Amino acid sequence: MQTVQVIVDVPTMQTNRPYTYLVPERLTNQVEAGMRVIVPFGRGHREVQGFVVATGQTESAYQGALKELTALMDLTPVLNPEMLALSKWLADHTYAFWISCLYTMLPNLLKAKTKRLVRVIDEFDPQLQQSLFGEAATLDLAQVQTDPAAMHELVKLKRAGKVQIEYAVEDQARAKQVTALQATLDFEVYEELLATVPKNAKAQQRLLVYLQGLGEQKVPLKAARQQTGLSLATFRLGEQRGWLKKSLVEQLRTPMRQTKGADRPVTLNAEQTAAVTAIQAGIQAPTAPTFLLKGVTGSGKTEVYLRAMAAALANGQTALMLVPEIALTPQMVQRVRGRFGQQVAILHSGLSNGERYDEWRRIQRQEVQVVVGTRSAIFAPLPKLGLIVIDEEHENSYKQEDAPRYHAREVAKWRAQYHHAAVVLGSATPSLESYARAKTGNYHLLTLTHRVNQQPLPPVTVVDMRQEPRQGGESNFSRALLAAVQARLAKGEQSILLLNRRGFSSFMMCRDCGYVLKCPNCDISLTLHLATQNMKCHYCGFEAPIPQRCPHCASRQIRYYGTGTEKVEAELKHRLPAARVIRMDVDTTRRKGQHAKLLQAFGQHQADILLGTQMIAKGLDFPNVTLVGVLNADTGLDLPDFRAGERTFDLLAQVSGRAGRADKAGQVFIQTYNPDNYVIQLAQAGNYEAFFGAEMQLRKQAQYPPYFYTVRLMVAHPEEKAAAKVIHQLARRLQGHLAPETVVLGPTPRAIARIKNQYYYQIVIKYRHDPALHQLLTELQHEIQRDRQLHFAIDPDPQYFM
């Protein structure tokens, strides 16, 4: 008898393995790996959802001990064999539940307990249709999924293309339907009709010729009208006479469709050509090479990606491209769309569930060859992958902070192995990990050493803010920077001003007693929001009114520390009243599409200054921008995190690269209170190599990546004592089981010890080579004494240590 291995939706350590179920007779050979099922589970035979991860056979002798699966939820697999294999690896590699990994790979619509409707899309045996659907056009799958006979028929109908599945949720997520028409008669019949319809009935003649040429295809009515120029009345007449029939077809929602015309390939320069040639060879080779494309800002990396993707397509393969945040890189999306048109699907978190599901289906149905998306797009079920590009590979957003805690780079390498595809990691400032690997020959290094416009990188001036006069209160602007902005205004050129807000916010402090207004739930200070006139917690969303007096000593001497973008904008308006400013931060870009709109306005020179946070630092390519100013380079430098220097260097290099990208020369100002800091100095020199050398030295001494790997154990509990107890148990358990070189940091409370009323403790393990560690950690997961309120997580290669 057929059996299936099922991963059940019961995310606990004890149930984190496949369970065997018998397949009811009627469903034999209908159930495939990758389909979802309902199975009885546990003592109470509670019905739970699960994924079939494998199918098999069993000797009849053992059958008695096995339970039967209750229902089949899908008519075709939602996960293909590659994704199933990947989910297993992911679970193991990230210490996550297998079930969480399976869900991670699917669009939200397939995660929730969504209503599934079967819709008839083509004619079939009327008796069968009557018995399954009655008079209705759709059928709720939940009502028949426990009926093996009905499911048996539906799976067959689905395979024959007679029915389709729709997932209905409250928001407009049901697939959008449009009216389409289809020819009903044979070629010869139209021939005869053409001879009988009066010659002066031009419209009817034209309709007949059109229908004759259609063959079997269904054309949306709107498109048919555009193609023929005929009126609705003519089509209606055609329908009345039986020349055509109308039906509903599904129209997929396609986000960000508007492109500014086709994007034409430029002539590559020598370095670009060498890079494309190497990648192309990598795509064709039966191996899975990883390339590191290190190119200074404005060196034309994007063009290399596009050519390499075209090479994969020309090879009959598909291409996947990851970008840090789609909303932040509308220019990139437009260029890919411009080059590959309808062959592209876009996947990112800004899409509605419906849009995301539609894009995912276009991929699954193999209607697209190119996918562009953020981190989770790495799971796009593209078949025949030839190339995976990760742009700005050093960005932290490629690591997921919640379970499963995967890094898209690692998943990319896994998929590349599976498909013998090439991976291209691109950056002007590669992560130390990647550049170290390129140096040792693990990755193939490709370099673009100069800008496409043949200009040098813009000169960088470091401004020592300690030397600025203080009279009339502190200013966000040095005299030099203000003069430079003024000069751009006079010339009609544009400026970008960056306010570095990393690890930093405008908080309230009492000048008399030093009291800082903090969130009652979390251990962090509340942030001032001028727009909404209140104080907010960025971790849990807690809000409070702006205090007039100190809650502690009732003093009125309250000050707001830190510089918010709003405050800078106000100062700009005051100092340069003529300047038109666009402010870009979380507040002005919260609404969907707002980010792209603001950038577009800036691109059309509707403003002179773009003032913003980190989100304006990368990817922007505006020819009229000749000045970049960094208002506060230091914030973030002193954060308790070994990557603080690297992040600051990356940010300064990225934002400096926004100036002087076309024919006009650029200039950069960096304002700082630490002009002697090596990070600031090497960023000024634009010397990545020197920064890499200096930083590697520090990492070696302190035993951090890339010399050591890290893994973090985290415990959270609403009671501080309980959290502390468990973390100390864990620490004791590690003793004596680690390699001699392995280092254990902690246990310590996390820098922000309390978030959402949970207390956090952590241990960081640093190791070079510790073959037993993975097994040990896997065992710990099973051993740990859990009460219901305890959260325990293992985070491999954490990106933040606070």
Ligand X SMILES: Nc1ncnc2c1ncn2[C@@H]1O[C@H](COP(=O)(O)OP(=O)(O)OP(=O)(O)O)[C@@H](O)[C@H]1O
Assigned token pair, 308: 């390499």
The one among 80, 254, 269, 534 contacting ligand X by CB under 6 A: 269
What is the distance between the alpha carbons of residues 6 and 21, in angstroms, rounded to a whole number?
A: 7
Is 685 strand, coil or helix? helix
**290 in contact with ligand X (CB under 6 A):** no
From the list 81-89, 239-247, 295-303, 776-784, the region that binds ligand X by CB under 6 A is 295-303
| Count of chain residues binding ligand X (CB under 6 A) | 19
The one among 34, 381, 657, 798 contacting ligand X by CB under 6 A: 657
Contact between residue 556 and residue 549 where contact means Cβ atoms under 8 Å apart: yes
Amino acid at 84: L
What is the distance between the alpha carbons of residues 333 and 345, in angstroms, rounded to a whole number?
A: 10
Closest to ligand X by CB, 199 or 264:
264
From the list 265-273, 569-577, 709-717, 728-736, the region that binds ligand X by CB under 6 A is 265-273
Q: What is the dihedral of CA 151, 154, 158, 159, to 10 degrees?
A: 70
Contact between residue 585 and residue 529 where contact means Cβ atoms under 8 Å apart: no
Assigned token pair, 228: 């023929």
What is the distance between the alpha carbons of residues 710 and 798, in angstroms, rounded to a whole number?
A: 7
Residue 297 near which of ligand X, Zn ion, none (CB within 5-8 Å, type-dependent): ligand X
The one among 165, 446, 510, 723 contacting Zn ion by CB under 5 A: 510
Packing angle, helices 221-228 and 232-240, rounded to 10: 110
Packing angle, helices 330-340 and 301-314, rounded to 10: 30
From the list 193-201, 291-299, 358-366, 549-557, the region that binds ligand X by CB under 6 A is 291-299
Closest to Zn ion by CB, 491 or 549:
549
> What 3 state SS string does 54-80 have?
EEEECCHHHHHHCEECCEECCCCCCCC
Closest to Zn ion by CB, 516 or 698:
516
Sign, Cα dihedral of 641, 642, 646, 649: positive
Contact between residue 381 and residue 355 where contact means Cβ atoms under 8 Å apart: no
Q: 16: which DSSP letter?
A: -
Residue 24 near which of Zn ion, ligand X, none (CB within 5-8 Å, type-dependent): none
What is the distance between the alpha carbons of residues 244 and 184, in angstroms, rounded to a whole number?
A: 5
**209 in contact with Zn ion (CB under 5 A):** no
Residue 673 near which of Zn ion, ligand X, none (CB within 5-8 Å, type-dependent): none
Which residue, among 612, 608, 529, has the nearest Cα to 565 in the 3D structure?
Answer: 612
Strand order of the β-sheet with 385-390 is 344-347, 370-373, 318-322, 385-390, 422-427, 290-295, 444-448
What is the distance between the alpha carbons of residues 273 and 275, in angstroms, rounded to a whole number?
A: 5
What is the distance between the alpha carbons of residues 672 and 679, in angstroms, rounded to a whole number?
A: 11
Annotated binding site for Zn(2+): 510, 513, 519, 522, 537, 540, 550, 553
CB of 521: closest distance to Zn ion in angstroms?
4
Residue 510 near which of ligand X, Zn ion, none (CB within 5-8 Å, type-dependent): Zn ion
What is the distance between the alpha carbons of residues 510 and 559, in angstroms, rounded to a whole number?
A: 6
**147 in contact with ligand X (CB under 6 A):** no
Residue 272 near which of ligand X, Zn ion, none (CB within 5-8 Å, type-dependent): ligand X
Is 279 strand, coil or helix? helix
From the list 24-32, 317-325, 417-425, 531-539, the region that binds Zn ion by CB under 5 A is 531-539
Amino acid at 344: V
Contact between residue 712 and residue 795 where contact means Cβ atoms under 8 Å apart: yes
**103 in contact with Zn ion (CB under 5 A):** no
CB of 349: closest distance to Zn ion in angstroms?
22
The one among 266, 531, 685, 698 contacting ligand X by CB under 6 A: 266
The one among 169, 189, 268, 579 contacting ligand X by CB under 6 A: 268
The one among 228, 331, 521, 624 contacting Zn ion by CB under 5 A: 521
What is the distance between the alpha carbons of residues 449 and 274, in angstroms, rounded to a whole number?
A: 12
What is the distance between the alpha carbons of residues 88 and 84, in angstroms, rounded to a whole number?
A: 7
Residue 298 near which of Zn ion, ligand X, none (CB within 5-8 Å, type-dependent): ligand X
**537 in contact with Zn ion (CB under 5 A):** yes
**303 in contact with ligand X (CB under 6 A):** yes
Cα 550 to chain centroid distance, Å, stands at 42
Closest to Zn ion by CB, 446 or 508:
508
Residue 266 near which of Zn ion, ligand X, none (CB within 5-8 Å, type-dependent): ligand X
CB of 480: closest distance to ligand X in angstroms?
25
From the list 296-304, 310-318, 483-491, 701-709, the region that binds ligand X by CB under 6 A is 296-304
CB of 759: closest distance to ligand X in angstroms?
42
Residue 389 near which of ligand X, Zn ion, none (CB within 5-8 Å, type-dependent): none
From the list 299-307, 356-364, 670-678, 762-770, the region that binds ligand X by CB under 6 A is 299-307
H or E element at residue 727: helix 720-734
CB of 299: closest distance to ligand X in angstroms?
4
Annotated binding site: 510, 513, 519, 522, 537, 540, 550, 553
Q: 23: which DSSP letter?
A: P
**515 in contact with Zn ion (CB under 5 A):** yes
What is the distance between the alpha carbons of residues 79 and 85, in angstroms, rounded to a whole number?
A: 10
**589 in contact with ligand X (CB under 6 A):** no
**614 in contact with ligand X (CB under 6 A):** no
The one among 297, 434, 494, 799 contacting ligand X by CB under 6 A: 297
Residues 395-434: x where in contact with ligand X by CB under 6 A, - otherwise, as a string: ---------------------------------x------
Closest to Zn ion by CB, 42 or 514:
514
Q: Tell which positions 696-735 bind ligand X, by CB under 6 A.
A: none
Q: 628: which DSSP letter?
A: E
**550 in contact with Zn ion (CB under 5 A):** yes
DSSP3 helix / strand / coil % (the chain, rounded to 5) = 35, 25, 40
* Number of other residues whose CB lies within 10 A of the CB of residue 587: 15
The one among 34, 77, 282, 295 contacting ligand X by CB under 6 A: 295
The one among 12, 226, 417, 555 contacting Zn ion by CB under 5 A: 555
The one among 13, 136, 209, 513 contacting Zn ion by CB under 5 A: 513
**539 in contact with Zn ion (CB under 5 A):** yes
What is the distance between the alpha carbons of residues 620 and 599, in angstroms, rounded to a whole number?
A: 9
Q: Find all residues with CB under 8 Å of 42, minimum gap 6, and list them.
A: 10
| Binding positions for Zn ion, rule: CB under 5 A | 510, 512-513, 515, 519, 521-522, 537, 539-540, 542, 550, 552-553, 555
Question: Which residues are at the interface with ligand X (CB under 6 A)?
Answer: 266-269, 272, 295, 297-303, 428, 452, 619, 621, 657, 661
